[in-house]
């Protein structure tokens, strides 16, 4: 019996750059009424993810920053940050490669300039930004760094493979074709879901995980039932137990009907 549904947001329950369907909203409400815990597991910042959870009527913990932060009703249950040295090395690399970086410190998004990349990112995700030189920011709680290249996604794919050797002490993952994320090695979706599994005393077989992108590989690995969206990457589909419909056809709802209702 499924007792926990750990779900990605964008491309899984949220149509990119649009909204939730009524079917998804009704399904999540029905899951909660049935006593199944629904937890949002996302690369988004906690401030943005918590608002989405509230809009969906959820009072369960929210997993943000790929698993680097787990917050329940304002209380931090789990957190993992980048060190100042790790942050400096990534910023030096980004400067040399001339690639845009979003820096997240203490749940605030910083960009050094109000450029196209950060404008598009914030407009799509309805997220606020702070423009400030990185050398003026106190880097005491770096949640993650995000490299963005909207014009050349092949560059992001290449970096994901190359940088594993350059930064072996980091968790590096492509979360969309345009985004490459850098975080603490214990800040993965798998680590966060396993923390909640222990927190609630669940068996792995009681957990359903569902997502669509490569950063959800770690998420699916934490589930006893692994579901990939119809719009998922080939890499994610390869490890899934079940491939549902796409996000545009309420794939989340179809999967819940199969495994939870």
SS3 of 178, please?
coil
Per-residue pLDDT of the chain (261 residues; tens, 9 = 90+): 999 999 999 999 999 877 899 999 999 999 999 999 999 999 999 999 999 999 999 999 999 999 999 999 999 999 999 999 999 999 999 999 999 999 999 999 999 999 999 999 999 888 999 999 999 998 999 999 999 999 999 999 999 999 999 999 999 999 999 999 999 999 999 999 999 999 999 999 999 999 999 999 999 999 999 999 999 999 999 999 999 999 999 999 999 999 999
Taking Cα atoms as reference points, which of 169, 248, 167, 188 lies closest to residue 42? 188
- In the numeric block, the tokens 């605030």 are attached to 108
pLDDT of residue 16: 80
Angle between helices 22-33 and 251-259 in degrees, nearest 10: 30
Q: Which helix (H) or strand (E) holds 21?
A: none
- pTM for the whole thing? 0.94
What are the structural domains, with CATH classification, of the chain? 4-79+187-259 (3.40.50.1000), 84-183 (3.30.1240.10)
User: What is the distance between the alpha carbons of residues 126 and 128, in angstroms, rounded to a whole number?
Assistant: 7
Question: Position of tokens 């014009």?
Answer: 151
What's the CA angle centered on 29, arms 44 and 35, to 5 degrees? Answer: 100
Tens digit of pLDDT for each residue in 161-173?
999 999 999 999 9
**Tens-digit pLDDT profile for residues 5-24:** 999 999 999 998 778 999 99
- 214's tokens: 């490569």
């Amino acid at each position: 019996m499924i007792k926990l549904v750990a779900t990605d947001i964008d491309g899984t329950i949220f149509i990119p750059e649009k909204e939730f369907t009524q079917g998804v909203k009704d399904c999540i409400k029905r899951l909660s009424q049935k006593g199944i815990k629904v937890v949002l597991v996302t690369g988004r910042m906690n401030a943005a993810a918590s608002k989405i959870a509230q809009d969906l009527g959820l009072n369960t913990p929210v997993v943000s920053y790929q698993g680097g932060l787990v917050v329940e009703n304002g209380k931090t249950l789990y957190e993992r940050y980048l060190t100042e040295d790790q942050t400096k090395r990534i910023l030096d690399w980004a400067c040399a490669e001339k690639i845009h970086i979003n820096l997240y410190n203490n749940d605030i998004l910083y960009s050094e300039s109000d450029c196209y990349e950060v404008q598009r990112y914030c407009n799509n995700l309805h997220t606020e930004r702070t423009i400030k030189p990185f050398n003026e920011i106190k880097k005491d709680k770096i949640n993650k760094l995000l490299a963005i290249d909207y014009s050349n996604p092949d560059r992001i794919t290449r970096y994901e493979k190359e940088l594993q050797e350059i930064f072996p002490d980091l968790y590096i993952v492509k979360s969309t074709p345009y985004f490459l994320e850098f975080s603490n090695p214990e800040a993965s979706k798998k680590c966060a879901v396993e923390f909640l599994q222990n927190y609630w005393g669940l068996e792995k077989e009681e957990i359903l995980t569902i997502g669509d992108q490569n950063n959800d590989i770690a998420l699916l690995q934490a589930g006893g039932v692994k579901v990939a969206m119809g719009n998922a990457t080939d890499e994610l589909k390869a490890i899934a137990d079940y491939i549902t419909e796409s996000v545009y056809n309420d794939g989340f709802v179809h999967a819940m009907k199969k495994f939870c209702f």
